[in-house]
Amino acid sequence: MIWELDLFILALVVVCAVVAINIRDLLGAVVIFGVYSFLMCLLWAEMGAVDVAFTEATVGAGVSSVLFIAAIFRTTRRSKD
């Protein structure tokens, strides 16, 4: 465990979370959310929880991004913003 590295990745995670909430484009939000999941996976692995990091990489970054994109393709945009 290197706490400087932890802090750096944690700052990136917080930035990604804020951007994923505030971004207008849904597809962009999904991509940022994938980045968030990978950074979270890096953080778990760095802190020694390899099993949780594995789950985060497969479910969080892999399958859930694909499912989000599949859901977005089934939606239509009504509003003009």
Partner 1 sequence: MKRLQEQARGRDIGDNLIIRTAVRLLVPFIQLFGLYVIVHGHYSPGGGFQGGVILGASFILLALAYDLRTSLRFMSERTNAILGNAGVLIFTGIAVLCALLGGLFLDYSALDRLISLGPIEWRSLGIFLVEVGVGTAVMSIMVSLFWDLGSGGEMDEGL
Give the one residue of 26, 31, 42, 47 binding partner 1; rule: CB under 8 A.
26
Give the one residue of 74, 79, 80, 81 binding partner 1; rule: CB under 8 A.
74
Q: Shortest approach of partner 1 to residue 63 CB, angstroms? A: 6
DSSP per residue, the chain? --HHHHHHHHHHHHHHHHHHHH-S-HHHHHHHHHHHHHHHHHHHHHTT-HHHHHHIIIIIIIIHHHHHHHHHHT----S--
Give the one residue of 1, 3, 22, 77 binding partner 1; rule: CB under 8 A.
77
Is 63 a residue that touches partner 1 (CB under 8 A)? yes
Is the CB of 18 or the CB of 66 nearer to partner 1? 66
Residue with tokens 């484009």: 25
Is 80 a residue that touches partner 1 (CB under 8 A)? no
Phi, psi of 20 (to 5 degrees): -65, -30
Is 27 a residue that touches partner 1 (CB under 8 A)? yes
